[in-house]
Structure formats: C-alpha cells, structure tokens
Amino acid sequence: MTDMGRWIFMILCIVLLVAGGYWLLQHEGISSCNDIGGQWNYTRWKCETG
C-alpha cells in the first residue's frame, strides 16, 4: 500500500466513525424522544415536548 492509499483509508475510517456516531446519537435521541411523546427537532438537535 502506498502512503496515499493509507491516508485515504484512514480518512475513510474516520469519516465512517463520525457518521456512525452521529447516526447513533440521532437514533437514540429520536427513539427516547418518541417514548415520551415528544417531537425531535433536527435543526436544534433536541427533543421538544408539546
């Protein structure tokens, strides 16, 4: 593997980790929000109860 290939691989891994973590947080937030009957606000990234 060349240095360039290694860099691309590392960057891809970091992007996947960040995206995965972001998705998990959103998913957990939304499901717990739905449990209490709230509405998930994507722009503010928080749960709003009516």
Q: Which residues contact 13 (CB under 8 A, 6 or more apart)?
A: none
pLDDT of residue 49: 83
Specify the pTM.
0.54
The pLDDT profile of the chain, 50 residues, written as one tens digit per residue, is 688 999 999 999 999 999 999 888 888 888 888 888 888 888 887 888 87
pLDDT of residue 1: 62
Ordered by start, the domain boundaries in the chain are 20-50
Q: Where in 1-50 does DSSP place strands (E)?
A: 39-41, 46-48
Query: Rounded to whole angstroms, how far apart are CA atoms 17 and 44?
Result: 22
pLDDT of residue 28: 84
H or E element: which one contains 49? none
